[in-house]
Structure 1
Amino acid sequence: MVVAEKELGRRLQLVQGVHWLYGAQGDPYAALLRGYHGPDPRGAYARSREAGPLWRSRLGTWVTARYATAAELLARPVADGGRPLAAVPQPQVAVAWERGLPAPEPWGLPGADRVRALAGRACERLLAGLRGEVDLVAAVCARVPVEVLADLHDVAGADRERLAAACAAAGPALDAALAPPSYEDAAGLPDAVAALGGLLGEAAVLRAVVEVRAAQELAAGALAALVASPGRWALLAGRGREGAAAVVAETLRHDPPVKVHVFTAAADTEAAGQPIAAGEQVAVLIGAANRDPGVFDRPDVFDPDRAGTAGAGPRPLVPAPYGVSLEPFAGVVAETVVAALAAARPGMRAAGPAVRRPRTPVTGGLLKVPVLL
């Protein structure tokens, strides 16, 4: 146990040191992963776009931050269900938490109507007692996806509490694969994954980790953008599910729940004039590509009424991390949360700025969205 703890600590220090060194030497991808850009990654995104349509980071990863190249690469076949080949020692793989887990099963998934109904009931229960100043992340966004997951898998009683604890402990997983988390978070991931496997079955673990965190971040990102613009929140109250769907679609572009998508090429290929060998890693900077100024008008402005989110024009790029599609679960849960809050609390307003966790280049790590109800 002591040897394993020392090895984990050394691994985290090594990856963080490599990110710091290459980032300080001007590598935009390493700089993005080390997280020194603060809560606003726009500068890091711009530098990555300026580096070219497809360029090789000193970390050994092919990187694109441009919409056209990103869309092209997301359509290519990937190895191992979209998961990085964690068995290959590479300094940019911080915590291989998914090693040994089976790929998510593509069959037997719940329909959108069932997810929506369960999310609606969860929102009704959770919103009933909320008063005064509330952190929407802790009170709503982090809880509704877990409630839906528990209902889908018929988890009840004390196991429901264990599921919530396991989902919370697994929360850092998506970022931990690329950016070293705290030692405590990294050390807790194996136990969290094992607990999820015991409660849901191993085949459901990858899907649960990705879907719960993506739904939390997508709902929180939408609400943070809305309360920062009170006029938009007041208008949303009368637009129902259609208005919530437009808000979530724009959040997928403006503040996507998965901002960096890393995969391994399944075969020799080429993109933007660059040859990519089978087995090489590719990082698609979704957050940057979805704000490509050559594609989107006023890319840094949150605008749910822009044409691209309503069906015309370029659509936001949405990856499938670890082979898990984000929209069937995360999109529906986020829409339901936004619509339920708009209907129940039309006078809601910000009680302070949103707070993000440091070193969360994949999810953006919304930690708090404080509001007055």
Structure 2
Amino acid sequence: MKSWIRWAILHGVPSIYLGRRARRGEPLSEILTNSHAGQNPYQFGDRIRAQGRLVRTPVTWVTADYEVCRTILRDKNFGTTPPDALNLPRPILRLLRATDLKLANPVEPPSMLMVDPPEHTRYRKLVAQEFTPRAVGRLHDRIVEVTDELLAGLAARPQADLITDFARLLPVAIICEILGVPRQDQDYMLELGHAGAPLLDVGISWRTFRTAIAALRASEEFVAGHIARLRADPGDNILSELAVSGSLTMPELKAIATLVAGAGFETTVNLLGNGMMALHDHPDQLDLLRAEPDRWPAAIEEILRFDSPVQLTSRTALSDTEIAGQPIGGGESVALLLGSANRDPAVFADPGAFDVTRVNAREHLSFSSGVHACLGASLARMEGAVALSALYERFPELRLAGTAERRGLVNLRGYQRIPAVLGLPAASRTA
């Protein structure tokens, strides 16, 4: 019953309300209800931007303006928007708090995504050491090794699904090594993360919510057992250090492990899939990268800008303030359309064009900004550059073998399936 009540408050009622507004052509509701069928949310961001830099809706403020998004992300007067911070009637908020499922949910405290300083600062300091550029740099050879293993496995097959058989397997292998998760458990972790991803959307169905919550419960049980094993027999990984240090409670440990695991592969899978399709749709850009492979790191930035793996986030004003000439009251929230902000023509010339030579592509907001900037950004960039460059080097004749399928999610934008004919492999890489 608790789960159903929580779904009804967070998803059931909003789904009905947003659906009505979407049918009337309200662009934010069209985005949130996925009425664009996962194809092109940017047209709605353009419409919102045309209404103003910061637009008031009956539910929330919303912006697709790059500078407004970046300003709010960096403004200490704005905090995260966990469920109990929503601008709801007090009886509803009390009911929401009473139905807290006490799970390691990435969209609820104590997840780092949903807490502000000083709690966020404490959590981040404990984890950040594993994701510094220097620490990530030490993973380069391992990323190349795993990539080569996966591509060698594909070479024996005439066709493959580039998501299931490649894009999903590389990041989960690396993040599980960071967390000390045994290789035999990687597929299980991947399945749980995939099932929980819809929780980042608004208005999901009861069936989807129930499946996601079941995945969270299973994930929490697995993580608790894994932490117990690491305490008894620590390894050379960040979770072992945290588990034996005593610096975090068990709920905090489970929340951090679950978030790092999910964020560590879900967004990177989307980066890889979105990049494959962008290059398929723009073969001239792929030809350029093949001729000038040193451009791959810059190409990853353009992929992130052009089709962001994470489309939106929200921030809540901690006190009365003013942004872009608009007064925002304390407690009011702002939906930040990061993917659309990455296509703001005031910042990115010809923003709908995919151009791997774009000089300011790295200014995108796909990894957020401010205190909540993505810890794993350096790792995702490296995995993207290594994986995509190796894929197209190994299989120069690669082409699609059917229609690529979107995941159908709003926030985590990516592909469920990319069927491909691989063609004859080139000589094995020696890098």
Q: Give TM-score scaled by structure 2 length.
A: 0.75
Q: Match of 2:50, as an amino acid? A: E
Structure 1 counterpart of 2:214 = 188
1:55 matched to 2:55: yes
**CA offsets per residue over residues 186-218 of structure 1, 9 Å max, x none?**
333432551464345423322332232111111
Note the C-alpha offset of 1:254: 0.6
In structure 1, C-alpha distance between the alignment counterparts of 2:87 and 2:185, rounded to whole Å = 37
Q: Partner residue of 2:178?
A: 152
Q: 2:384 aligns to what SS in structure 1?
A: helix
Hey, what does 2:246 align to over in structure 1? none
In the aligned structure 1, how far is the partner of 2:285 from the partner of 2:312?
28
Counterpart in the other structure of 1:307? 359
Deviates more, 1:44-53 or 1:268-277: 268-277
Structure 2 SS opposite 1:194:
helix
Correspondence for 2:108: 99
Q: Which runs of 4+ in 1 moved over 4 A?
A: 93-97
Three-state SS of the structure 1 residue aligned to 2:309 is coil
Query: Aligned-pair distance for 1:10?
Result: 3.1
Aligned pair partner of 1:140 in 166, 190, 197? 166
- Bigger Cα displacement from structure 2, 18-27 vs 95-104: 95-104
Query: Counterpart of 1:63 in 2: which secondary structure?
Result: strand
**Given the superposition, is the C-alpha separation of residues 157 and 248 from structure 1 closer, same or farther in structure 2, using an over 3 Å criterion?**
closer
Gaps of 5+ in 2: 113-122, 227-238, 240-252, 423-431
Asked if structure 2 preserves the Cα contact closer than 8 Å seen for 1:118 and 1:151, the reply is: no
Q: Does 1:108 align with 2:161?
A: no
Hey, what's the Cα distance between the residues in 1 that align with 2:368 and 2:221?
24
Aligned-pair Cα RMSD in Å:
2.8
CA distance in 2: counterparts of 1:330 and 1:363, whole angstroms: 15
Which moves more between the two structures, 163-172 or 82-91?
82-91
Partner of residue 126, structure 1:
150
Answer yes or no: is the 8 Å Cα contact 1:101–1:206 preserved in 2.
no
Larger mean CA deviation between 120-129 and 267-276 belongs to 267-276
Distance across 2 between alignment mates of 1:150 and 1:84: 29
SS at match of 1:129: helix
Offset at residue 223 of structure 1 (A): 1.1
Shift of residue 306, structure 1, vs aligned partner? 1.7
Residue in structure 2 matched with residue 365 of structure 1 by the alignment: 414
Q: How far 1:34 moved relative to its partner?
A: 0.8
State the Cα distance separating 1:334 from its structure 2 match: 1.5
**354, 357, 366: which is aligned to 1:318?**
366
1:295 to 347, 359, 362: 347
Letter in 2 for 1:136: L
In structure 1, the gaps of 5 or more residues are none
User: Which residue of 1 is the match for residue 299 of structure 2?
Assistant: 247
Q: Does structure 2 retain, via aligned residues, the 8 Å contact 1:27–1:58? A: no
Matched position secondary structure for 1:109: helix
Q: Distance in 2 between matches of 1:173 and 1:189?
A: 11
Q: Is contact 1:219–1:335 with CA below 8 Å preserved after alignment?
A: no
Relative distance call for 1:340 and 1:143 in structure 2 (3 A) is: same
**Structure 1 residues 83, 121: closer, same or farther in 2, change over 3 A?**
farther
Deviation at 1:97, TM superposition (A): 5.1
1:192-271 matches, within 5 Å, as 192-195=218-221, 197-198=223-224, 199=226, 201-202=253-254, 203-240=256-293, 242-271=294-323
* CA–CA distance in structure 2, aligned partners of residues 307 and 21 of structure 1: 42
Tell me what 1:166 maps to.
Answer: 192
Report percent identity of matched pairs: 26
> Would you say the 8 A contact 2:172–2:264 is kept in 1?
no
Amino acid in the other structure paired with 2:83: A
Residue of structure 2 aligned with 1:85, choices 78, 82, 87: 82
For 1:337, the equivalent position in structure 2 comes to 387
| Structure with the larger helix share | 2
Task: Report the CA distance between 1:260 and its aligned residue.
Answer: 0.8
Change (3 A) 1:87 1:272: same
Q: What is the CA-CA distance between 1:32 and the residue it aligns to?
A: 1.0
Distance in 1 separating the partners of 2:315 and 2:218: 23
| Amino acid aligned to 1:121 | E
Q: Contact 1:32–1:361 (CA<8 Å) still a contact in 2?
A: yes
Q: What SS does the corresponding residue of 1:278 show, helix, strand or coil?
A: coil
CA distance in 2, matches of 1:189, 1:141: 21
The offset of 1:5, in angstroms, is 4.7
Matched residues in 2 for 1:115 and 1:279: separation?
42
The structure-2 alpha-carbon separation of the partners of 1:118 and 1:171, relative to structure 1 and needing over 3 Å to count, comes to: farther
Q: Report the CA distance shift for 1:346/1:196 in structure 2 as closer, same or farther (over 3 A).
A: farther
Distance 1:243 1:43, change over 3 A: same
Q: CA deviation at 1:6?
A: 3.5
